[in-house]
A and B are shown apart, each in its own frame.
Chain A
Amino acid sequence: MNSKRQKDPNPPQFPERIIGSLAWDEDRYSILEDLREEYGYIHKTRGARRADLWYWGHMIRSFFPLLKFALYWRFVMLGNYLKVAFRNFRKHKSYSFINISGLAIGMACCMLIMLWVQDELNYERFNEHIDDMFCVVEYPPENPKSCSASIPAPVIPHLVDKYADVKHASRFMASYRRLFSYEGNNLFEDNGGFADPELFDVFSFKAVLSDPKAALTDPNTIVLTKSMAAKYFGPENPLGKTIKLENRYVFSVGAVIEDIPHNSSIRFDYLIPFENFGRFDDVGLDNWGSRWGYMGFVILQANVDPDVFSAKIAEEVIDNNPGSTHKLKLYPYKDLRLIGLNNNGTFKFILIFSAIAILILLIACINFVNLTTSQSGKRAKEIGLRKVIGASKSSIKRQVYSELVAMVAISFGLAVVLVYFFLPKLNALSGKTLTLSITEDSGLLLGMLAIALITLIVSGAYPAFYLSSFSPLKIMKSDASIRSGHSSLRKMLVIGQFAISIILIVSTIVITRQMTYIKNKELGFDKDHLIYIDLLGDLKTKYDTVKNELLRNPGINAVTVAVSLPNNAHNNAGGLDWEGRPADVQGSLNFISVDKDYFETVGAEFLEGETFQSVPSNSVLSEFVINEKAVEAMKIENPVGKTFKMWDRNPGRIIGIVKNVHNTPLHHEIEPVFYVQFPYFYNYLIINIKNENVPHTIGFIQDVTRTINPHYPFEFHFLNEDIDRFYQTERQVSRLITYFTALAIFVSCLGLFGLSLFTAEQRTKEIGIRKTLGATVSGIVGLMSKDFLVLVGVANFIAWPVSYLIMNRWLQNFAYRVDIGLWIFALAAALALVIALLTISFQTIKAATANPVDSLRYE
Chain B
Amino acid sequence: MNYFLQQILNALGWGSILALLAAGYTMTFGIIGLVNFAYGEVFMVAAFAAYFALTIFNLPYWMALLISLISAIVIGLVIEKIAFKPVRRAGMITLFITSLGASVIIRNLFIMLFDAKLKNFKAPSSLKGVYLLGDLIISKKNILIFLITIILCTVLVYLVKNTKLGIAMRSISYDSQIAETLGINTERTIIITFIIASFIGGIGGILWGILFGSVRASMGAIPVIDAFIASVIGGVGNVFGAVVSGYILAIGSAFFIAYLPPELVGAKPLFVWIVFFIILIFKPSGLFRANIK
Decide whether A and B assemble into one complex: no
**Residues of B participating in the A interface, judged by any CB pair closer than 8 Å:** none
**Residues of A participating in the B interface, judged by any CB pair closer than 8 Å:** none
